[in-house]
Amino acid sequence: MAEILVVDDDQSVASAFKTFLRYEGHDCRIASSAPEAMQAIAERPPALVVMDVRMPGVDGLAALKEMRAKYPDLYVVMMTGYGTSQTSIDAIRDGAFDFLHKPLDLDELRGVIRKALAARESRDTSESPAAVDAGTAPSLVGEAPAMREVYKTIGRLAALDVPALLVGEHGTGKRLVAATIHANSARRARPFVVVDCAASPELNVDEQMALASGGTLLLQHIEALAPAAQAALVKTLGRTSGRSAGAARLLAATEADLRALAASGAFNRELVETLAVVTVALPPLRNRRDDIPLLVRAFIQRFNVEFERGISRMDDALLRRLQEHPWPGNVAELEGVVKRGCILARSEVITADDIGGSLTQAPAANRQEAESSLSIAAKRALQERLIAQSPNEPSSAYHDIIDLVETTLVKEALLVTNGNQVKAALILGVNRATLRKKMPGA
């Protein structure tokens, strides 16, 4: 049993937390503001703080900094229903143990609380780095669970001077992630140097590290680095350990499976082990399709400034088509399509005519493949849920899974109909009252 302080100005959320935590066997105290929370901590430090970001007066991120400054051993989990990628990065970098998004998943919340309490008990502070001042970071866009994990890892890497490996398909944004890590770190005023190993396989590692002195060196396509350069890099990393005065911090990016290459003798095994201690895996765009409207909006805003255009949005039919496209070139390919549309659009709305033949593969041709992938993913998710369920304990797995499927169906139908509940109900073959009951958040 542990005492947990919940900081949230929404009384209904606070009450729900109290019920949940008591059911889990914990004591719960409630604070409705940052000053009230600081007073509660001063009176009796809790085992864990769970705090909302958006509160009147002093917000949660400012309160987090104050708590970590006064109580460096305090474990804090942040949560929000309105956060951006930068909010998550800031929270983790400034010492939050974890960052959760509302509406909260109770299984995820239960797991995070368990991990935080276990870490506190062992006094393992590796998950709670010291605070550094925020910098101006490039903009990462996306709310998919995989991207949320990327933001958390960026926050931790921003506060720690260790090498890291960025892994992902072409166009997933590895360079942007590296730039974001640099911009949020204490090195942000120093150089950010990018070298393409495919173009310069025989590069002088020490020379490039010197160019990035005190800053960050990103080696793209690290798999193309020549064997001699790989060996030199191992020696350099062993000599500097990423922490020597004036030494550059190394980040490496690849689309390849370096461990498989090392196993075949095609890559330096020691270098793989050094780089892969912290790995940031970037998801392909086809696995985060719900982020496509957010990315399109962000690209339109950027290109409006760049080309002095006044594009307001993308045609709904075209946007749906983009969400069905396989995107072999990932976010970089999507960026190119939106850029073309912003340049050639003849009105404030981008249509299919404006992007021409940018999408080379029609979505209909991929329907069978997509449905097959969906079936496989659904079976895997079901198996994991059912295997994890103890046969000796009562379960709500059947109803939970049915609710998940129904909620997903309703969400997609509303997306297709642009939020029109009447049309969505017709598509699904249900009445409007049933649709409303199954809507997310209902």
Is 314 in the same domain as 399? Answer: no
The span from the CA of 287 to the CA of 364, in Å, is 18
Q: What tokens were used for 33?
A: 């503001």
Is 85 in the same domain as 149? Answer: no
Residue 360 has pLDDT above 50, yes or no: yes
Is 184 in the same domain as 245? Answer: yes
Q: Per-residue confidence at 314, pLDDT binned at 50, 70, 90?
A: very high
The answer to whether position 8 is within a domain reads yes
DSSP 8-class letter at 142: -
Is 169 in the same domain as 274? Answer: yes
pLDDT digits 0-9 by tens, 86-134: 888 888 888 888 999 888 888 889 988 988 887 777 543 333 332 223 2
pLDDT digits 0-9 by tens, 63-93: 999 998 888 888 999 998 876 788 888 888 8
Is 344 in the same domain as 440? Answer: no
- Listing DSSP states for 356-367 in one string gives TT---S-GGGGH
The answer to whether position 369 is within a domain reads no
CATH code of 173's domain: 3.40.50.300
Q: What is the mean pLDDT of the chain?
A: 83
CATH code of 440's domain: 1.10.10.60
The span from the CA of 111 to the CA of 362, in Å, is 42
CATH code of 331's domain: 1.10.8.60
Least confident of 95-109, 113-127, 157-171, 362-376: 362-376
Is 89 in the same domain as 185? Answer: no
pLDDT of residue 221: 94
Dihedral sign, Cα of residue 69, residue 138, residue 83, residue 181: negative
The answer to whether position 354 is within a domain reads yes
pLDDT of residue 242: 45
Domain boundary among 364, 382, 412: 364
* Boundaries of domain holding 228: 145-281
Is 439 in the same domain as 339? Answer: no
pLDDT of residue 400: 72
pLDDT digits 0-9 by tens, 140-154: 888 888 998 999 999
Is 292 in the same domain as 276? Answer: no
Residue 37 has pLDDT above 90, yes or no: yes
The total domain count for the chain is: 4
Strand order in the sheet with 3-7: 27-31, 3-7, 48-52, 76-80, 98-101
Is 187 in the same domain as 294? Answer: no
Residue 136 has pLDDT above 60, yes or no: no
Q: Per-residue confidence at 428, pLDDT binned at 50, 70, 90?
A: confident
Q: Per-residue confidence at 358, pLDDT binned at 50, 70, 90?
A: low
pLDDT digits 0-9 by tens, 390-410: 566 666 667 777 777 787 778
Q: Which residues of 252-263 are buried (b: 16+ CB within 10 A; e: fewer)?
A: bbbeeebeebbe
Please name which of 233, 250, 251, 248 lies closest in space to residue 175, comparing C-alpha atoms. 251
